[in-house]
Structure 1
Amino acid sequence: MGKFVEEFSHLSRRNAVQRQQFPYDLAADERSFEALRSAFARSLPLIPDSNIGEAPIFVLGLPNTGISQVERILSSHSGVHSGGAFQALPLAIKQASGTGSLELLGADTVEAVAGRSARLIGEEYINCAAQVAAPKGKRVTDSFPLNFLYLGWIVAALPNATIVNLRRGTMDSVWNNFKNIVPADAAKYRWSTDIMDTARYVLMYQRIMAFWRQRFPGRIHEVIYDLLVTDQEAQIRRMLTHCGLSWDDACLETATTAAPHADASVDSHGSGSWRDFQDQLGEVIDFFTENGIPLD
């Protein structure tokens, strides 16, 4: 209806209520991100004993940016089975850490996993993921967005895994998360109930992904959302090649069919919608400008 000021006001009030009910600790996440960089800065912090043959395809990135559509495209391939967004890897890491804290991934968990067996973590992941096991001859996708935090452990514990990271524009990532409702039990997404905390989390994600790309060159395939919209076949071919999959027309058919799904649609209407609210997002724009981050 074009009532952008009213819409932003309603969203802000709704999120403020959620923030009161379910507070968010930015400092705790900052410590976790820093602990990850410290743990993986040099040699891998696990015993390098994994030779697990399973080769899941991890589709990761920020939530509400189009991850489920990328998984939909991949799982349309005749050799791929959709596993959905399950938390097998976070649970495997938490179990390996032996920590008693309630949060899945705190700085204490990162530190406690050091020196554990990569093979045992990989086997625990496979056991946890058994409920979505692929039919014989097919590879399974794992599209839990926050697996980007676990990327170093993926490389060590599942050496044959494929990693696909979906990159969305900075401001689109902030806006798409701020406007979505956070389930009451989803502590891992509570950063999105405040517009500036959302911006800070998006920046932390961008920085940890830059670290992973430098740390594990060639292991991460980047899917750029806007290129997937405008140049679908070329981008899908590149993604399938990285995954070691042959071309399958079904993948392109899925990409061009705007079927309803829970995540942001891959279409020309999704990108840039934040600009309707740029008068209300001035503080966020200034934040990214000051940090030298492109808005799109």
Structure 2
Amino acid sequence: MKKQLLNTKKINQAAGLFQVADADLFSKNWEGAIQKYRQALNINPSNSAGWANFGAALLEVGKAEEAESALESARTLDPKGINVLGNLANLKKQLGDNEAAEKFYRKILKHYPNVARAWHEMARIKRFHPGDPDILELESLHAKSSINDEARMHAAFALGKALEDTRDYDRAFQYIKEANCLKRRTLNFDLKAFRITVDEIIRVFDASYINRFQSCGDNDERPIFVLGMPRSGTTLIEQILASHSSVFGCGEFEGINTIVRESIPKFPKGAALLAPENFKHIGTRYVEQLTKYAGAANRVTDKMPRNYLFIGVILNILPQARIIHCQRSPMDTCFSCYALHFPRGQEFSYNMDELGGYFLLYRQLMEHWHRVAPGRILDIAYEDVIRDTEVKTRELLDFCDLDWDEACLKFHKTKRLVGTASAAQVREPIYSRSVERWRHFEEQLKPLKDLIYS
């Protein structure tokens, strides 16, 4: 009886830990989730969902080997589990093993052929050809009346990618537009509110503010911020830098956004109330968080694109940090956003009017940062990197005070996790097929072009 009570108590304890860990995972508290999953799985190692979620959390902090071990434990318990197989596919994709990733997606589809998200994720890592039987399968799935709007959205994005691969551009755009309309219905994005935020950032972070507090922050020289619009080449630039022997690539790190939210209430207005000593404290907090992932690396990249909103904060909390602004043709940038489904964020990208309006506000803010902090930000154009990779790589390394490293030119061979939509592209040598991509859809994109260039 006592043994039975003890077992019940342990099961309940594990269940509570799993519940807290799941909440931490949902709120992106990766370290908290990892700690709780470890404790819970030590008590109840037969929980397949726990192992799968544990693996997902480990993947978020770059612990690939441990993540794979956890996910394989989950697969042993639940060999057909969608989350288990999906997380294993994601792991392989981030490691650059697209062949293995595709095999896991096909395992899902073998057991659950109507899981449109698996089709969508697989479409992003494979090249389609005319007559590809996968296109027929996708069209059949998309036409089913039994699937919901979310599934139809995933199928439409997948078909857009597939038909663009096969150069059937008119049909590709029809599916891309449908997918965006379906996604936009689920979101709440207010361009007017974003415009007010940008205007307020410009008002608060003027030249006098930047100059007044620029000597107050933490003087750590390690952070390198790689930022700009999504799909502007940030992943490529980080991959080049992270191939250097002295650089650790931290990916899309949430540190700045988290610290601003916690330390500067009512941002951006609240920044006007900060005392000089606050800047060093905030900068040190960021560096401490970064060090948890990067260890003792001499330089660490943070390639969260939307950090362009916080350049005024970065300049003062980390005055020795390098800031690299990635640029790309406005039309290629915007169409690349429009043609892609983002798992989270980027709510502005699913409507062409909102996308164009957002791009103009982003450009306005970047022009402001250059005015108030001349010489502090390096602009690097995606097209220039494609055209003359070595020259632009040397410029990047000089800006970051790094010696030349030949490995930076062989970035596609660098073994590291890449968790963005460009994970597959940075595993290839430099190519130019994405330059002027938008011109295949020039007629359909005329409203966007008119807005951006008006």
Report the counterpart of residue 29 of structure 1 in structure 2.
194
Structure 1, unpaired ranges of 5+: 99-107, 291-296
Aligned match of 2:292: 131
Partner amino acid for 2:436? G
Which whole-Å deviations, capped at 9, do the CAs of 1:105-124 have from their partners, x for residues lacking one?
xxx32001223221121122
Gap change, CA 1:10 and 1:39, over 3 Å in 2: same
Is 1:93–1:113's contact at 8 Å kept on the other side of the alignment? no
Deviations 1:86-133 (A, max 9, x none): 1100111111123xxxxxxxxx32001223221121122123324312
Residue 76 of structure 1 is matched in structure 2 by: 243
Maintained 8 Å contact 1:173/1:202: no
**Is residue 2:318 matched to residue 1:166?**
no
Residues 133 and 140 in structure 1, CA contact (< 8 A), matched pair in contact too:
yes
- 1:114 partner SS: helix
Q: Which has the larger radius of gyration?
A: 2
1:56 aligns with 2:223: yes
**Aligned partners of 1:138 and 1:250: how far apart in 2?**
16
Q: Distance in 2 between matches of 1:17 and 1:67?
A: 27
| AA matched with 2:267 | T
- The correspondence of residues 93-108 of structure 1 with structure 2, limited to 5 A, is 93-98=260-265, 108=266
- Which residue identity does 2:194 align to in structure 1? D
Q: 1:277 to 1:38 in 2, by over 3 A?
A: same
Name 1:178's counterpart in structure 2: 338
- Paired with 1:55 and 1:284, the residues of 2 have a C-alpha distance of 39
1:92 is aligned, of 235, 256, 259, to 259
Q: Does 1:156 align with 2:348?
A: no
- Do structure 1's residue 2 and structure 2's residue 167 form an aligned pair? yes
Question: Bigger shift: 117-126 or 79-88?
Answer: 117-126
Per the alignment, residue 19 of structure 1 pairs with: 184
For 2:447, the aligned partner's letter is E
User: Shift of the alpha carbon at 1:256?
Assistant: 9.0
Contact 2:248 2:297 in 1 (8 A): no
Q: AA paired with 1:200?
A: G
Counterpart-to-counterpart distance in 1, 2:355 and 2:251:
24
User: For residues 224 and 49 of structure 1, what CA distance do their matches in structure 2 show?
Assistant: 32
1:282 counterpart = 2:446? yes
The structure, 1 or 2, with the larger RCO (C-alpha pairs under 8 Å, 6+ apart) is 1
Please point out which of 214, 221, 235 is paired with 2:378. Answer: 221
| Cα distance in structure 2, aligned partners of 1:70 and 1:246 | 16
What residue identity is the alignment partner of 2:183? Q
SS of equivalent to 2:273? coil
Amino acid at match of 2:292: Q
The residue aligned with 2:392 is 235
CA contact (8 A) 1:64 1:177 kept: yes
1:130-149 CA deviation, whole Å, 9 max, x = no partner? Answer: 43123x25211101111111
- Displacement, 1:223? 1.0
TM normalised by structure 2 equals 0.58
User: SS of the counterpart of 2:227?
Assistant: strand
* Greater fraction of residues in helix: 2
Contact 1:191 1:197 in 2 (8 A): yes
For residues 113-124 of structure 1, the aligned pairs below 5 Å read 113-116=271-274, 117-124=278-285
Quick one: distance in 1 between partners of 2:172 and 2:297?
48
1:247 Cα shift? 0.6
Aligned residues: 276
Q: How far apart, CA to CA, are the structure 1 residues paired with 2:450 and 2:350?
A: 19
Q: Residues of 2 paired with 1:254 and 1:2: CA distance? A: 29
Deviations 1:186-205 (A, max 9, x none): 24x10001112111111111
Amino acid in structure 2 at the alignment position of 1:288: I
**CA offsets 1:38-74 (integer angstroms, 9 cap, x no match):** 0112322785522432420111111122211110100
Once residues 71 and 236 of structure 1 are traced to their aligned partners in structure 2, the CA distance between those partners, rounded to angstroms, is 11
Provide the secondary structure at the position in 2 that maps to 1:44: helix
Pairwise CA RMSD? 2.0
